């Protein structure tokens, strides 16, 4: 059973701060990693993808991947109240014939004005 | 921007009734998925579909579930005899090889079984 682990939170940060969200995964051969944002009652929305070790930046978001440690993180700089949501880590299943993604339970982020 | 569309947005059904959830994936996408999310729980894989056949299904996807792509645009999930525990948000998703494995989700159907 492939596992993706996240701290459920809530992670509370003040407006303008850096929010750091973490995820570990059990499948050593996973190659593709994704962060989705999910507002309450809404569907997951893709915000970042990362495939190789190191950092990948996109605007205020930075994804970090360390395959040796089986660890992926998301940094949100200059956090805004509109960033308050649940952030889902998703990992591809290389043994999956359908190339499905396995999701973590998500970390709830609350940005205080 | 192209998007995955799902209908209806909310469906209430009586236990034992059949429901069909409908999805129109993004037009040039080739791989289609159904996921579900029970309130307060994780997004769970149900089934993947490619080249007009199921490529993988989870343990949740038992004989009560079926999927179909009846024409070139629609992708449906049928639950033959609904149970209370089928109450959840059901999300359709699609992708192409060009998305790098990323799935694009529809807005979901909230299914309530009473």
Q: Write down the pLDDT at residue B63.
A: 95
Say if A101 is an interface residue toward chain B (CB within 8 Å): yes
Instruction: Give Cβ neighbours of residue B40 (< 8 Å, ≥ 6 apart).
Output: none
Chain centre to alpha carbon of residue A42: 17
Nearest-Cα distance to chain B for A62, in Å, is: 17
> How many pairs of residues across A and B have Cβ atoms under 8 Å apart?
61
Say if B40 is an interface residue toward chain A (CB within 8 Å): no
The closest CB to that of A43, out of B41, B49, B106, belongs to B106
Residue whose entry in the numeric block shows the structure tokens 């509370």:
A12
- pLDDT-based confidence at residue B47 (cuts at 50, 70, 90): very high
Strand partners, B90: B36, B109
Q: What is the full DSSP assignment across A65-80?
A: EETTTTEEEEEESS--
Q: Write down the pLDDT at residue A30.
A: 85
| Low-confidence winner among A24-28, A93-97, B30-34, B67-71 (lowest mean pLDDT) | A93-97
The closest CB to that of B42, out of A34, A97, A105, belongs to A105
Verify whether the Cβ–Cβ distance A96 to B106 is below 8 Å: no
Q: Which residues of B touch A34 (CB under 8 A)?
A: 101-103
The closest CB to that of A34, out of B48, B56, B102, belongs to B102
How many angstroms separate the Cα of A100 from the Cα of each of A28, A44, A73, A112? 16, 15, 20, 35
Say if A42 is an interface residue toward chain B (CB within 8 Å): yes
- pLDDT-based confidence at residue B98 (cuts at 50, 70, 90): confident
- pLDDT-based confidence at residue B72 (cuts at 50, 70, 90): confident
Q: Which residues of B touch A103 (CB under 8 A)?
A: 42-44
């Amino acid at each position: 059973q492939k596992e993706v682990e996240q701290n459920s939170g809530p992670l509370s940060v003040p407006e303008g701060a850096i929010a750091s969200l973490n995820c570990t995964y059990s499948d050593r051969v996973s190659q593709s990693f994704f962060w989705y944002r999910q507002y309450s009652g809404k569907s997951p929305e893709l915000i970042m993808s990362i495939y190789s070790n190191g950092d990948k930046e996109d605007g205020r978001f930075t994804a970090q991947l360390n395959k040796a440690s089986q660890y992926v993180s998301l940094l949100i700089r200059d956090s805004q109240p509109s960033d308050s949501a649940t952030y889902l880590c998703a990992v591809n299943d290389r043994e999956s014939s359908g190339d499905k993604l396995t999701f973590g339970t998500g970390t709830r982020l609350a940005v205080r004005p | 921007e192209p998007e995955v569309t799902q209908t209806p947005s909310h469906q209430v059904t009586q236990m034992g009734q059949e429901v069909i959830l409908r999805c129109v994936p993004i037009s040039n996408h080739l791989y289609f998925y159904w996921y579900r999310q029970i309130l307060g729980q994780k997004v769970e894989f149900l089934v993947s579909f490619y080249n007009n056949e199921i490529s993988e299904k989870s343990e949740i996807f038992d004989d009560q579930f079926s999927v179909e792509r009846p024409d070139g645009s629609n992708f449906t999930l049928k639950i033959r005899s609904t149970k209370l525990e089928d109450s959840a948000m059901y999300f359709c998703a699609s992708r192409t090889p060009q998305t790098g494995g990323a799935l694009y989700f529809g807005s979901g159907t909230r299914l309530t079984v009473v």
